[in-house]
Chains A and B, each alone.
Chain A
């Protein structure tokens, strides 16, 4: 008799398992956990995990717990395509990631064909110029950031000539192609145009080249580790001219790796845990407590990506994959509606974002925000 009860209980549990599974919503994160994008990808992943933990602790999305899965793309476009396809085949509700623009460009058509929203960390201007209605940024695009940097170089740095150092991938080339016309518009001469390779280890020759250009300032647009290596090489060569960059150059990991060489670096920052936004600072503390290091902008981007999905789902009051993209397009997410978004964010029709951003400087090994810049279309 006892045996029958055991069998009945086992059957009952087996029957209830699918029901339990249905109480979850699956999100797949396709991200650079190794390779050249490991620093950015690890921050992005940790930001996502933090958001998922927060949301699940508060009851999930429309009562469903989030099940998060991370796939390492190794910063390889081919692997990224395969991972996005796998995510869709496995029934992801939305695709999160990747962070690097090259792998995004290589994989975005897959989510587009499946009509599933893909929330990415990439900044390359070209990504949202291709008419993909399912691609959404979590950061400002280069198109939005570069005019602010050119203005900063002209008005604050008073630079008459600028050396541009960029990484020869989609991210770097997009930035280089966006800054040069802005420099021209501002009447700033291009002193030297230095292309470097992704994953490059030795920047001595590049730093010497920049030094010999006698530029008034240096605009550095490299990935995290390469930024740190370049800053160290520049210090070794005794370069004292202002180093100006975008969010990555002033990131926590770059500051940690570059050490003293990062001091004095200035630039435009899209997102920062040091910004005078209490929600950012609160996020920074939670991140530090959980992972024992300071988050860079990619941690914030990953966190906000999950909340963008949550907000869109709750806005449409149902789980509709296609509806997530439709709801996000053209929407303004206010912190009063969704505190997890951390800062009021407008999602433009093409997937670009508009929100406040910041000017910053590295002082004594810390990023210090010096000004807050308004939204482009307040």
Chain B
């Protein structure tokens, strides 16, 4: 039981990170009907920028974190929307998707050449100690990841569902034309969505980098698993991304523990195939209809 609990907590912690990244997929999908293939790099880069700020300005960690995070949200939240999404979306969804692939490569190679090809230690805001829960040793870092990730996701849900701004965002996502007729500043709402996506990526990056270490290639793994999580949960639902992330994280942890460590990477992919065959819209997703 203690052993199972330890695997479960580790899986939930990893899954919470995937969920944060997967929510980014769904937000971009809802506003631009495209997939941001640079989502993994969105989680990788904030950690690199924080370390770069510390290195360049000799800043203490808290200041470095503020500079790095602000720079990321500005460049890859606002900048991404203005420089990539707006010019490309006019030419259709496919060119935009391809543009995000290019952005992914630029972000990855830029981090490698501009900072380092090697992994770097990233400071943890939580002590690396364990607490005992029903006989299982639970890492404080995992507890912190779960707590912060759930708090952020809860806050996002509250914002989207209970605030005027959030409802305007939802309306924009559901039907931009009608939202515009109703006087909602659609462009501003879309911009806000991208800023929120960048902020979620920052949170995921700061939480996971003390464990994964900061490295230019981290986005590959996170992006892949978050993508699987978004599809498993339902690409058009924030709740789906959360559920998908947790399922993928737990399945990955349990597969490593009880099936085989050699095939653990294959197990989430098998899960993905099964979900696509049984419920193509995802476990929490809703079927979408389009008029042509």
Expressed in whole angstroms, the Cα–Cα distance for A236 and B10 within the complex equals: 11
Q: Kindly state whether residue A185 has any CB partner on chain B within 8 Å.
A: no
Q: Which of B1-48 contact A (CB under 8 A)?
A: 3, 6-7, 10-11, 13-14
Q: Is the beta-carbon distance between B130 and A238 smaller than 8 angstroms?
A: yes
Q: Report if B83 contacts A (CB, 8 A).
A: no
Contact of A209 among B118, B218, B257 (CB under 8 A): B257
Say yes or no for B262: interface residue by CB 8 A criterion: yes
Q: Does B215 contact A (CB under 8 A)?
A: yes
Residues of chain B with a CB closer than 8 A to A257's CB: 119-121, 213
- Complex contacts, A201 vs chain B, CB 8 Å: 211-212, 218, 221-222
A183 within 8 A of B: no
Cβ-defined partner of B257 (8 Å) among A195, A205, A236, A256: A205
The segment from B65-73, B135-143, B270-278 found at the interface with A is B135-143
Residues of A within 8 A of B210 (CB): 232
Does A194 lie within 8 Å of B218, measured CB to CB? no
Inter-chain contacts of A168 with B (CB < 8 A): 262
Residues from chain B with Cβ under 8 Å of A204 in the complex: 10, 13-14, 139, 142, 211, 253
Main secondary structure, interface of A, reads: helix
What chain B residues lie within 8 Å of A225 (beta carbons)? 118-119, 213, 215
- What residues of chain B lie closer than 8 Å to A208, measured between beta carbons? 3, 6-7, 10, 257
Contact B142 A236 (CB under 8 A): yes
Measured in the bound complex, the distance between the Cα atoms of B264 and A197 in whole Å is 9
Chain B residues with Cβ below 8 Å from A33 are: 117
Asked whether any CB of chain A lies closer than 8 Å to the CB of B151, the reply is no
Contact partner of A38 (CB less than 8 A), chosen from B117, B121, B253, B257, is: B117
Q: Is B217 an interface residue (CB 8 A)?
A: yes
Shortest C-beta distance, A153 to chain B (Å), equals 22
The interface bits of chain B over 110-142 (1 if a CB of A lies within 8 angstroms of the residue's CB, else 0) are 001000011111000000101000000101011
Min CB distance B32 to A, Å, is 29
- Supposing A204-B13, A257-B121 touch, asked if A237 and B130 sit within 8 A by C-beta, the answer is yes
CB-nearest residue of chain A relative to B141?
A: A236
Give the distance in Å from the alpha carbon of A358 to the alpha carbon of B265 in the complex.
37
When distances are taken between beta carbons in the complex, the residues of chain B under 8 Å from A59 are: none
In-complex Cβ contact of A229 among B120, B212, B260 (8 A): B212
Instruction: Tell me how many residues of B have a C-beta within 8 Å of chain A.
Output: 38
Quote the shortest CB–CB distance from A75 to chain B (angstroms).
10
> Which residues in window 35-69 of A have CB below 8 A to B?
35, 38-39, 42
Number of residues from A at the complex interface, CB < 8 A = 36
CB distance from B245 to the nearest CB of A (A): 14
Q: Which residues of A contact B174 (CB under 8 A)?
A: none
Give the CA-CA distance A202 to B174 in the complex, in Å.
37
A365 to B112, CA, bound (A): 27
Interfacial residues of chain B within 211-269, with CB under 8 A of chain A in the complex: 211-213, 215-218, 221-222, 252-253, 256-257, 260-262, 264-265
* Chain B 130-167 interface 0/1 with A at a Cβ cutoff of 8 Å (1 = within): 10000001010110000000000000000000000000
- The answer, among B137, B217, B260, B261, for a CB contact under 8 Å with A237, is B137
Complex CA–CA separation, A197 to B286 (angstroms)? 36
Contacts of B213 in A (CB 8 A): 225, 228-229, 257
Beyond A229-B211, A236-B141, whether A260 also contacts B119 by CB under 8 A is: no
Give the distance to chain A from B116, nearest Cβ to Cβ, in Å.
8
B254 to chain A, nearest CB (A): 8
- Residue in chain A with minimal CB distance to B212: A201
Question: In chain A, what residue has the closest Cβ to B116?
Answer: A38
| CB closest residue in chain B, given A205 | B256
* Bound form: Cα–Cα A157–B13 in Å: 34
Q: How far is the CA of A305 from the CA of B221 in the complex (A)?
A: 35
A201-235 residues with Cβ-Cβ distance < 8 A to B are 201-202, 204-206, 208-209, 211-212, 225, 228-229, 232-233, 235
Say yes or no: A202 contacts B211, CB within 8 Å: yes
Q: Are B121 and A260 in contact (CB under 8 A)?
A: no
Q: In whole Å, how far is B286's beta carbon from the nearest beta carbon of chain A?
A: 31
Establish whether residues B211 and A232, one from each chain, have CB atoms under 8 Å apart when the complex forms.
yes
Q: Mark A257-283, 1 if CB is under 8 A from B, else 0.
A: 101110000000000000000000000
Q: In the complex the two chains form, is B112's CB within 8 Å of A34's CB?
A: yes
User: Are the C-beta atoms of B265 and A197 separated by less than 8 Å?
Assistant: yes
Judge whether A205 and B137 touch: CB under 8 Å: no
B-side contacts of A339, CB under 8 Å: none
Determine whether the beta carbon of A42 is less than 8 Å from that of B118: yes
Residues of B within 8 A of A196 (CB): 261
- Chain A residues with Cβ under 8 A from B118's Cβ? 38-39, 42, 225, 253
Return A366 CB to nearest CB of chain B, in Å: 16
Q: Are B7 and A205 closer than 8 Å at their CB atoms?
A: yes
A199 within 8 A of B: yes
Tell me the bound Cα distance from A208 to B265 in angstroms. Answer: 18
Q: List 17 A-B contacts (CB under 8 A).
A: A34-B216, A194-B261, A199-B221, A208-B6, A228-B213, A232-B210, A232-B211, A233-B211, A236-B141, A236-B142, A236-B211, A237-B137, A237-B139, A238-B130, A257-B119, A257-B213, A260-B128
A sample of 5 more A-B contacts (CB under 8 A), given A233-B211, A256-B121, is A38-B118, A206-B256, A208-B7, A229-B211, A259-B121
Query: 3 smallest A-B Cβ distances: which pairs?
Result: A205-B256, A204-B10, A236-B139
